[in-house]
A and B are shown apart, each in its own frame.
Chain A
Amino acid sequence: MRPAPLVHLVDDDPAIRDSLTLMFRSRGFRPRAYRAAEECLATAGPETTGCVVSDMRLPDMTGVEFTRRLRVLGATPPVVIITASAGATLAVEALAAGASDLLEKPFDDEALLASVRRALAARRGEQEIDAETRAIVARFGALSEEERRVLAGVANGRPSRDIAQGLGLELRTVELHRANIMAKANIGTLVELARLSVIAASAKAGVAAREPNPPLRPRRSNLRGAAAA
């Protein structure tokens, strides 16, 4: 039996730290809480194991910067970002910086647990595709070839005008595709779209299994390749 995995919780709100500590402990993880990014970075290095769950807006830096700093230190644990004020741009930025997932507060704790488990499994190199991932892949499976190309652009945070130009399509067509993608995949927000497309792409390409989250490698190229394939 594997030892209980570590979860490094970084959030400046005491109630969030406390509630997540309780949740992770009761679910068989070993939680460690930090108030600020620097506190966690001070203990981080190549030997760091487990998963990081970090707030996007930390007192000393953003979750995106924190993720980059971890990678610079050679610490490779997957990072799940939680945020009370997400925007699609922020989500894309976080995922591009190498975060494995982004959840909006308040989140379903099952979703957070699934996200952490998925990230840890990917790090161990196990293609442990859970029910949620399968469902996500299935949701994106219904997309047409052109919709996939538009999706790649949307997930990279590019505005419709840009995507239209890049693909040689009319703006109206791109907007129509966007609406169709949201409807087919049953997605309400752009943040959800960015997040799900990343999960679907990494699961499909199997990138996560062989070469989990290479440090400092921008996720966006990953995404684009997978979606276009």
Chain B
Amino acid sequence: MDQSSSDSRAELHEAPAPLRSSRRAAAGADDLRRAEARLEAVLECLADAVLSIDEKGVVVAVNAAAGTLFCCSGAALLGVEAATLLPESRLAAGDRRSHGLARRPDGSTFPIALTLNETRGDSRLRIAVIRDLTEQRAGEALLCELRAELAYAGRLAAMGELAAALAHEINQPFSAIATYVRTARWLLQRKPKQTAEIEDILDKAGAQAMRAGDIVRRLREFVTRGESVKTVQSLSTLVEEAKSLGVAGARHVGAQVCVAAKAEHDEVLADRVQIQQVIVNLMRNAVEAMDGAARRELSLSTSAADGFARLDVADTGHGLKDGGGALFEPFRSTKATGMGIGLSISRSIVEAHGGRIWAEPNPQGGAIFSFTLPLAERASP
């Protein structure tokens, strides 16, 4: 410990600006000692670890926090090569500020923010200020987890509200299958020579089974509590997939759903289910807004520009109340049913993906809800 304190005193001789000015004011030894004591007190009460590294890359002085962060006595860090404690690339690169992982003498690692500085004068020392980011990262992870939980709860609620419409949507292909299969069987019995027609009918039954299966699969993905995984997806593909759940409600009010425009290159880095949740949400809202309206048209358009992919969901419904400012706040529903969390969850999902969501009046009556997502960096061709 003696060694450490004498070294930190040594580094005081090359102290930064405010101390130098005091030195200039009075060159007396008392002043110098006072300045040293002050600097030492500052270093010792810092929560960040401060390491002094000599020209050979060896740690020559540490403060009290260094021992705490690296889980050892401060003395144990002296004489150690800095590169074994800190990310070497960061030390060499000479970045003043960077993030990375620090390694403790016991081998464990922890996330840090690293700030580097250099002393002036003949014997140059590098000063590494290390902030432990463990708690911050845990906070971020918790926030992410909570957001995923909330999104999951939102999906369950949305599917609960859509249950009747979905049952109807799944019943349609089943009904067609039943009729196809029975007709094929009847033909087999009465007109067994009509094999081409029977085969055709059975193919159609198969296709309807796939249609029903597709809806069920999307539904299952939607209500499964999955880990949030981001992959590169085309936004228009996500729209196409979400449509099979989103249109369920549309049939209920006799609304027509069309894809008005489809972007060419609209790959985004996204959690597939969460973005589909936003799309289903916007479609449901649009459909509900059109219940009882004279024109009931829902149009979906995707586009890509300025580094963002964008989806516009336009309806011809009752439009926005009060300019729609509070729309994305939780529990602000204007609908008779529903909790009013759909849009606030949608906003939290879109913003967590680095995008933006908003609403504006549709020039043709009704409203347009839009969101953007940053385009994924595309691999060079």
Decide whether A and B are members of one complex: yes
Known: A23-B183, A26-B183, A109-B182. A16 touches B175 (CB 8 A): yes
B175 in contact with A22 (CB, 8 Å)? no
Known: A57-B251, A85-B164, A106-B177. A13 touches B182 (CB 8 A): no
Which B-chain residue is minimally distant from A12 (CB atoms)? B251
Known: A85-B164, A106-B178, A109-B178. A18 touches B204 (CB 8 A): yes
B186 in contact with A27 (CB, 8 Å)? yes
Mask: chain B, 197-224; 1 = CB below 8 Å from A; 0 = not: 0000100100010010000000000000
Q: How far is the CB of B123 from chain A (nearest CB, A)?
A: 84
Q: B171 interface residue, CB < 8 Å from A?
A: yes
A19 in contact with B180 (CB, 8 Å)? yes
Known: A22-B201, A58-B254, A59-B254. A15 touches B172 (CB 8 A): yes
Number of A-B contacts (CB under 8 A): 74
Mask: chain B, 298-334; 1 = CB below 8 Å from A; 0 = not: 0000000000000000000000000000000000000
Task: Name the B residues within 8 Å of A58 (CB-CB).
Answer: 254
Task: Name the B residues within 8 Å of A110 (CB-CB).
Answer: 182
Count of residues in B whose CB is under 8 Å from the partner chain: 27
Count of residues in A whose CB is under 8 Å from the partner chain: 24
Task: Name the B residues within 8 Å of A102 (CB-CB).
Answer: none
Task: Name the B residues within 8 Å of A23 (CB-CB).
Answer: 179, 182-183
Q: A84 interface residue, CB < 8 Å from B?
A: yes
Task: Name the A residues within 8 Å of B172 (CB-CB).
Answer: 13, 15-16, 84, 105
B183 in contact with A22 (CB, 8 Å)? yes
Which A-chain residue is minimally distant from B171 (CB atoms)? A84
B167 in contact with A85 (CB, 8 Å)? yes
A15 in contact with B171 (CB, 8 Å)? no
Which A-chain residue is minimally distant from B164 (CB atoms)? A85
Residues of A within 8 A of B (CB): 12-13, 15-16, 18-20, 22-23, 26-27, 57-60, 82, 84-85, 105-110
12 interchain pairs, CB-CB under 8 A: A13-B176, A16-B176, A19-B177, A23-B179, A59-B254, A105-B171, A105-B172, A105-B175, A106-B178, A106-B179, A107-B175, A108-B182
Q: In the complex, given contacts A60-B254, A85-B171, what are 19 additional A-B residue pairs having Cβ atoms less than 8 angstroms apart? A: A12-B251, A15-B176, A16-B179, A19-B175, A19-B180, A22-B179, A22-B201, A23-B179, A57-B251, A84-B171, A85-B167, A105-B172, A106-B171, A106-B174, A106-B179, A107-B175, A108-B182, A109-B182, A109-B183
Q: What 7 A-B pairs have minimum CB-CB distances, sorted nearest first?
A: A105-B175, A84-B171, A15-B176, A19-B179, A106-B175, A106-B178, A85-B168
